Amino acid sequence: MEHTDEKVSLIPDFISNCGMAKVFAYFMEGKVKMTDEVIFNDTSNIIKKAIKDTYNKNSIKTEISKTAFEIALTQLV
């Protein structure tokens, strides 16, 4: 992954695959609307925010995964 991240634009799997985790978290919020549109919009907003945050920290076309991972680690601490 690191070698590829240095050569091409690579959206990290923990962003691109976060949809299912977000859907489960959304359902656990309590009484929420369970429509396709609401779920899709909520998930899309999370992915969009993660990509925007990554771009704001690193706007070049490589090292996207590295940057996103640094952001994720910072959020955990």
pLDDT in the model for residue 1: 84
SS (H, E, C) 2-68: HHHHHHCCCCCHHHHCCHHHHHHHHHCCCCCCCCHHHHHHHHHHHHHHHHHHHHHHCCCCCCHHHHH
- What is the percent of the chain where pLDDT is above 90? 44
pLDDT at residue 73 is higher than 90: yes
Between 25 and 4, residue with greater pLDDT = 4
> Which pLDDT band holds residue 54 (cuts at 50, 70, 90)?
very high
